[in-house]
Amino acid sequence: MSYNKIDKEGYGEAPKTHKIRITLSSRKVQSLEKVCQELIDRAKTKGLRVKGPVRLPTKTLKVTTRKTPCGEGSKTWDTFEMRIHKRLIDLNAPTEVVKQIIINIEAGVEVEFHYLELNYLSASLMPSVIT
CATH of the domain at 107: 3.30.70.600
Mean pLDDT by 10 residues, the chain (131 residues): 52 70 94 93 90 95 91 88 96 83 86 72 42 36
Tell me the β-bridge partners of 62: 81
Q: Cα–Cα distances in Å, from 23 out to 2, 17, 54, 69, 87? A: 27, 19, 10, 40, 6
Domain count, the chain: 1
| Confidence at residue 122, expressed as pLDDT on a 0 to 100 scale | 41
Given its phi and psi angles, is residue 46 left (phi above 0), alpha (psi -120 to 50 degrees) or beta? Answer: alpha
Residue 23 lies in domain: 15-56+84-116
Cβ proximity of 85 and 32 under 8 Å: yes
Within a domain: 66: no
In a domain, residue 52? The reply is: yes
Identify the pLDDT of residue 131. 36
* Residue 24: inside a domain: yes
pLDDT digits (tens, 9 = 90+) for 39-71: 999 999 988 889 989 999 999 999 999 988 887
> Does the residue 125 lie in any domain?
no
Rg (alpha carbons) of the chain, rounded to whole number: 24
Q: How much is the pLDDT for 10? A: 52
Whether 74 is in a domain gets the answer no
